[in-house]
Amino acid sequence: MSDDQPLDDQVLHRIEGGVAWITLNRPDAHNAISPDQRDRVISLLTDASEDLAVRCVVLTANGKGFCTGADLRATRPPRSRPEGAPERTAGEVARMIRDGAQRLIAAVLDCEKPVIAAVNGTAAGIGAHLAFAADLIIAAESVNFIEVFVRRGLVPDGGGAYLLPRLIGMHKTKELMFFGDKLSATDAAHLGLVNRVVPDDQLIDLAIEWSNRLAAAPRSIVATKWLLNRSLDSDRASAFHDEAIAQDLNMTTADAQEGVASFIERRDPIYRGW
């Protein structure tokens, strides 16, 4: 793919049956993600939260790579600097990380709708964290996850040091981040990082099946995602408070009323997503 490839071709987007599909589409670059692509994905995830027609999001990619990290060759024009100013000043890297990798991962975590990562190929660096931030992760058998930062003499970014200890514990996280070894899809599933591993040619079929089920689910999934994500940083009193608030808010939704009515009337519920 050329660097001149239109952005709409670099990140494909469609909505079908209540499911928003976001597909990284730079296979020649193994879907190393550029700043423009990153911002486009963030925007699409934000739109999905606000769109009542979207009930679920699927993140996937074309080619042999899901996302092999940040595209270090893709840069934006430098900002003007006063004469004599250094090439890099204190705070610039921190700002770049906050506005870039961290904002991307936060967009997945904060998307109101459930997000499925359908990991089709190598997920390295920020690409691995993009997958791990999803609510459900399906991986093709050929996939490897790589905490590649140590190989480049870098510190992990994109929330990896936040996500992984909470998902698999501190000692296994340190092993992955200190050595940077490949983690197969099967081993990732054994650690609980992946929900399901399937033959490569069955990946999209399962993503369609799961996303369709989520698209037919009640609005309560939105509150459930919020509640579970907040529990990672909550003490018991806060978690119990959040649970009560989530229950209270959910009972005002049409879907909650439909769920109760369908049970009483002994029929299948028809959820609308609001």
The pLDDT value given to residue 4: 64
Cα 176 to Cα 121, 184, 187: the distances in Å are: 18, 12, 12
pLDDT for residue 1: 42
242, 159: one domain: no
Asked if 133 and 251 sit in the same domain, the reply is no
114 contacts 58 by C-beta, under 8 angstroms: no
Q: Per-residue confidence at 80, pLDDT binned at 50, 70, 90?
A: confident
pLDDT digits over 174-192, tens only? 999 999 999 999 999 999 9
Domain containing residue 225:
220-264
Same domain? For 227 and 178 the reply is: no
What pLDDT does residue 79 have?
74
Select from 217, 222, 214, 269 the least CA-distant residue to 249.
222
* Six-digit token string for 133: 């931030």
Note whether residue 270 is domain-resident.
no
Please tell me whether residues 181 and 232 are part of one structural domain.
no
What span, in angstroms and rounded, lies between the C-alpha atoms of 10 and 101? 18
Determine contact, residues 30/71, Cβ cutoff 8 Å: no
Closest CA to 123 of 173, 163, 67: 67
Whether 226 has a pLDDT exceeding 60, the answer reads yes
- Whether residue 151 sits in one domain with residue 103: yes
In terms of domains, do 198 and 227 share one?
Answer: no
State whether 68 and 146 are in the same domain: yes
Predicted TM-score of the model (pTM): 0.92
Q: Are 211 and 14 in contact (CB under 8 A)?
A: no
Whether 86 maps to a domain, the answer reads no
pLDDT at 76: 64
Residue 225 has pLDDT above 50, yes or no: yes
48 and 30 in a common domain = yes
The confidence band for 165, taking pLDDT boundaries of 50, 70 and 90, is very high
Beta strands in the chain, from DSSP E residues, in sequence order? 11-16, 19-24, 56-61, 65-67, 115-119, 122-124, 136-140, 144-146, 182-184, 196-198
Q: Which CATH number goes with the domain that contains 142? A: 3.90.226.10
Check pLDDT > 60 for residue 217: yes
Concatenate the DSSP letters of all residues of 110-170 into one string.
H-SS-EEEEE-SEEETHHHHHHHTSSEEEEETT-EEE-GGGGGT----TTHHHHHHHHH-H
pLDDT-wise least confident of 74-83, 186-195, 216-225: 74-83
Query: Mean pLDDT lowest for which of 83-92, 138-147, 215-224?
Result: 83-92
Q: Which of 198, 215, 232 is the last residue of a domain?
A: 215
SS3 of residue 224 by DSSP: helix
pLDDT bin (cut points 50, 70, 90) of residue 91 is confident
Chain centroid to CA 150: 22
Residues 241 and 176 in one domain: no
Shared domain check, 210 and 133: yes
Same domain for 146 and 176, yes or no, is yes
Instruction: Give pLDDT, residue 86.
Output: 77
Residue 109 sits in the same domain as residue 231: no
Q: Quick one: pLDDT at residue 83? A: 80
Query: Could you give the number of structural domains in the chain?
Result: 2
For residue 72, what pLDDT is reported?
Answer: 80
2 confidence band (pLDDT: 50, 70, 90): very low
- Residues above pLDDT 70, as percent of the chain: 97
